[in-house]
Amino acid sequence: MEPVNIGICGLGTVGGGTFDVLNRNAKEITRRAGREIRVSHIGSRSPKTDYDLQQVCVLADVFDVATAPEVDIVVELIGGCDVALDLILTAIEQGKHVVTANKALIAEHGNEIFAAAQEKGVMVAFEAAVAGGIPIIKTIREGLTANKIDWLAGIINGTGNFILTEMREKGRPFIDVLAEAQELGYAEADPTFDVEGIDAAHKLTILASIAFGIPLQFEKVYTEGISHISAQDILFAEELGYRIKHLGIAKRVPEGIELRVHPTLVPERLLLANVNGVMNAIMVHGDAVGPTLYYGAGAGGEATASAVVADIVDVVRTLTIDSDDRVPHLAFKSDCLSDVRIMPIESVVTSYYLRMEVLDQPGVMANVARILSELDISIEAIIQKEPQIKGSEVAIILLTRNVEESKMNEAIAEIESLDSTLGDIVKIRAESLIN
């Protein structure tokens, strides 16, 4: 059979990794795919000189790659939402299949992209957009296709997980570890996307769509970062038997679907609680399969390339298939997506870790307990820390049972209004992730 021609647009970390992996494992990949897959074109303004590009047509303008007649599959690895969107729509318009690692683009413009692809009968594959080398898209979309997915919860931002891991293991403050992560190249100069949860929200948007058969709706994800997490809270959580992880959670509830990214207390005996450093892991709970977990590198040139190349091989394999028989982009046929309500965060039901600084005087804890009780909020555990100096302030740490967020906020406001409460109450959600 004829070789399939790949045009790689963007030769950064992932683009370079993809080029390397396709070359290094060419024999292995051909043995599997049944035909040769070769990089015929590269779009890059400044291709690194340490690649052997003799057999490749290098073009400065990525749009020339997308329109080159010889190219069968366009691989978009330039990132960002402006040029990348134009590029992908151009490639689709030319009847070319597309592979991309661009989570922001898929999360924010995927509905438009997939509609265009469907009209043209081409595929847009995006395994690399979520959790790097872990084949989580394929797993949910194909491996768990028998299941009604109940929920998924994932550590889907390596930078954030590295920071929380270092804070826990070494008791270091957030700001210190962030600086180190930036030095190590794990975090960008502007770390907002990672530490404020935007990157995780992009990925959660995609996962939720393929898990539940709903359109991509990034704007409805509740997003909270980890910059306000203190080493102290990590320690107190541990006393209660929990680890704090920055999770993306998508959950089916009777009234709709919850989509939320926030720091979360997770029982320490769970595998998910023990995923450390820059690694990613996603728990997926299906009604037939029960709890499952998928773990691996969430970033890095070669790990992400692993997913990009898997997508390329998948596309190659379906070149002869009726386009109606292909795995749908978002797992469910586009005319079968359902318009389920996305729950506002105020309606979410979960349990809460609260930490409050209070005056060390009699009756304070009784007052707090009374407020919670009046709002029907049950307490799972309560710890009062001994004051450093007798009669000064003390910390009360509370773990509640499940309660609606709006009610929890009401209780917090009331406790904060007490004269004995000093400053704001720290609130972190907790999830048992059992069923």
Catalytic sites, residue numbers: 203
DSSP states of 206-224 as a string? HHHHHHHT----GGG-EE-
Q: At its nearest, how many Å lie between its own copies and the CB of residue 321?
A: 4
Q: Which range touches its own copies (CB under 8 A), out of 31-39, 113-121, 174-182, 387-395?
A: 31-39
Encode 268-300: b = buried (16+ Cβ within 10 Å), e = exposed: eebebbebbebbbbbbbbbeeeebbbbbbbbbb
Give the containing element (helix H, strand E) for 149.
strand 149-155
CB-nearer residue toward its own copies: 11 or 275:
275
Say how far residue 110 (Cα) sits from the centre of its chain: 16
Number of neighbouring beta carbons within 10 Å of residue 96: 23
Residues 92 and 85: beta-carbon distance below 8 Å: no
**Tokens 């692993």 belong to residue:** 306
Compute the half-sphere exposure of residue 256: CA atoms within 13 Å on the CB side of its CA: 13
Query: What are phi and psi for residue 84, nearest 5 degrees?
Result: -60, -40
Note the residue count of the chain.
435
Q: At its nearest, how many Å lie between its own copies and the CB of residue 130?
A: 12
Strand partners, 151: 251, 285
Q: At its nearest, how many Å lie between its own copies and the CB of residue 258?
A: 19
CB-nearer residue toward its own copies: 87 or 308:
308
C-alpha span between 259 and 253 (Å, rounded): 11
Q: Is position 255 an interface residue for its own copies (rule: CB under 8 A)?
A: no
Q: Which range touches its own copies (CB under 8 A), out of 195-203, 216-224, 285-293, 355-363?
A: 285-293
Q: Is position 25 an interface residue for its own copies (rule: CB under 8 A)?
A: yes
Q: Is position 287 an interface residue for its own copies (rule: CB under 8 A)?
A: yes
Residues 139 and 131: beta-carbon distance below 8 Å: no
Among 81, 115, 179, 289, contact with its own copies (rule: CB under 8 A): 289
**Tokens 């309560």 belong to residue:** 382
Q: What is the pattern of x (binds its own copies, CB under 8 A) and - over residues 367-406?
A: ----------------------------------------
Among 215, 328, 369, 380, contact with its own copies (rule: CB under 8 A): 328
Q: Is position 322 an interface residue for its own copies (rule: CB under 8 A)?
A: yes
Among 80, 277, 290, 423, contact with its own copies (rule: CB under 8 A): 290
Structure tokens at 172: 């270091």
Report in angstroms the alpha-carbon separations of 183 from 62, 291, 389: 31, 37, 39
Q: Which range touches its own copies (CB under 8 A), out of 179-187, 229-237, 326-334, 387-395?
A: 326-334
Q: Which range touches its own copies (CB under 8 A), out of 216-224, 230-238, 307-315, 419-427?
A: 307-315
C-alpha span between 315 and 238 (Å, rounded): 46
Q: Is position 32 an interface residue for its own copies (rule: CB under 8 A)?
A: yes
Q: Is position 314 an interface residue for its own copies (rule: CB under 8 A)?
A: yes
Q: At its nearest, how many Å lie between its own copies and the CB of residue 338?
A: 8
CB-nearer residue toward its own copies: 79 or 300:
300
Judged by CB under 8 A, the chain residues 261 through 280 that form the site for its own copies are 271, 274-275
Among 115, 319, 381, 383, contact with its own copies (rule: CB under 8 A): 319
AA identity, residue 2: E
CB-nearer residue toward its own copies: 35 or 385:
35
Q: Is position 339 an interface residue for its own copies (rule: CB under 8 A)?
A: no
Comparing CA positions, the residue from 56, 50, 57, 96 lying closest to residue 76 is: 96
Compute the half-sphere exposure of residue 114: CA atoms within 13 Å on the CB side of its CA: 24
Q: What is the pattern of x (binds its own copies, CB under 8 A) and - over residues 117-146?
A: ----------x----xxxx--xx-xxxxxx
Structure tokens at 308: 């990009």
Q: Is position 292 an interface residue for its own copies (rule: CB under 8 A)?
A: yes
C-alpha span between 95 and 283 (Å, rounded): 36
CB-nearer residue toward its own copies: 253 or 327:
327
Among 65, 305, 368, 403, contact with its own copies (rule: CB under 8 A): 305
Q: At its nearest, how many Å lie between its own copies and the CB of residue 35?
A: 9
Residues 432 and 239: beta-carbon distance below 8 Å: no
Q: Is position 286 an interface residue for its own copies (rule: CB under 8 A)?
A: yes
Q: Is position 321 an interface residue for its own copies (rule: CB under 8 A)?
A: yes
- Indicate the DSSP class of residue 342: B
Judged by CB under 8 A, the chain residues 162 through 221 that form the site for its own copies are 213
Q: Is position 54 an interface residue for its own copies (rule: CB under 8 A)?
A: no
